[in-house]
């Protein structure tokens, strides 16, 4: 069996092409947050997409001890857009669903759906896109979860890339 030999410049062009494709895919993933799993409408949202939602803000102390104003979208609104079980349908077996939220570095946190649903809690968790009137800085954004009533900020996940709605299993 003979191998196909490409001229050197063709090999280089192919290498550059595949490098550009991989960078493009990585960049696209870094600038979107996906919502998948037990949803009726899977989503891939950009900061621009979220600007079409009702914007809310929270003034909270970050782990640096300083007060910051985070602005973004109530996580429940994103869930409603994706068709996550909420409101009056969140009962029975649906109470065993949770949101698994993953960051760019592999960090993961979970929230039960009742922790997010306004029919169960007064807390409003936000998917933030801004801090102190500016886009979230590198290493923190473009998406970040802010949970204002948590005593510890371990679930204030930075660089959110995906949210998957999952049924808990034994």
Percent above pLDDT 90 for the chain: 75
With 90 as the cut, is the pLDDT of residue 42 above it? yes
Beta bridge partners of 57: 71
The domain locations on the chain are 33-167
169 or 130, higher pLDDT: 130
Q: What is the pLDDT of residue 169?
A: 81
Q: What is the mean pLDDT of residues 20-43?
A: 74
With 70 as the cut, is the pLDDT of residue 54 above it? yes
Q: What is the pLDDT of residue 26?
A: 42
Q: What is the mean pLDDT of residues 124-149?
A: 95
SS3 65: coil
Q: Are 36 and 45 in contact (CB under 8 A)?
A: no
Name the superfamily (CATH) of residues 33-167: Oxidoreductase, molybdopterin-binding domain (3.90.420.10)
Q: What is the pLDDT of residue 30?
A: 76
84 or 24, higher pLDDT: 84
Where is 22: in which H helix or E strand? helix 8-30
Q: What is the pLDDT of residue 29?
A: 58
Rounded Cα–Cα distance for residues 105 and 45 (Å): 19
Beta bridge partners of 135: 130
Q: To the nearest whole number, what is the mean pLDDT of the chain?
A: 87
Percent above pLDDT 70 for the chain: 82
Q: What is the mean pLDDT of residues 145-167?
A: 95
- From 136, 124, 131, select the one nearest 160 (Cα to Cα): 136
Instruction: Work out the pLDDT band at 8, boundaries 50, 70, 90.
Output: low
Here the tokens at position 151 are: 């005593």
Q: Are 60 and 68 in contact (CB under 8 A)?
A: yes
Give 108-124 pLDDT, tens digit per residue: 999 999 999 999 999 99
Rounded Cα–Cα distance for residues 116 and 124 (Å): 7
Cα angle: 73, vertex 75, 79; to 5 degrees: 120
Model pTM greater than 0.85?
A: no
C-alpha distance from residue 119 to each of 91, 95, 100, 141 (Å): 11, 13, 20, 29
Residue with structure tokens 């102390």? 61
Q: Which of 83-87, 148-152, 155-159 has the lowest mean pLDDT?
A: 148-152
Task: Read off the DSSP letter of residue 86.
Answer: -
């Amino acid at each position: 069996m003979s191998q196909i030999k490409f001229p050197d410049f063709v090999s280089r062009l192919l290498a550059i092409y595949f490098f550009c494709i991989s960078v493009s895919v990585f960049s696209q993933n870094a600038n979107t947050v996906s919502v998948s799993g037990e949803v009726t409408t899977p989503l891939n949202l950009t900061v621009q997409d979220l600007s079409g939602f009702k914007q809310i803000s929270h003034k909270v102390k970050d782990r640096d001890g300083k007060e910051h104003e985070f602005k973004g979208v109530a996580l429940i609104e994103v869930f409603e857009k994706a068709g996550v079980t909420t409101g009056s349908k969140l009962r029975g077996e649906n109470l065993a669903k949770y949101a698994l939220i993953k960051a760019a570095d592999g960090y993961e946190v979970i929230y039960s759906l009742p922790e997010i649903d306004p029919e169960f809690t007064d807390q409003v968790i936000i998917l933030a896109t801004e801090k102190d009137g500016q886009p979230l800085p590198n290493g923190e954004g473009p998406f970040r979860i802010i949970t204002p009533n948590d005593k510890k900020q371990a679930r204030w996940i930075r660089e959110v890339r995906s949210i998957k709605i999952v049924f808990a299993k034994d």
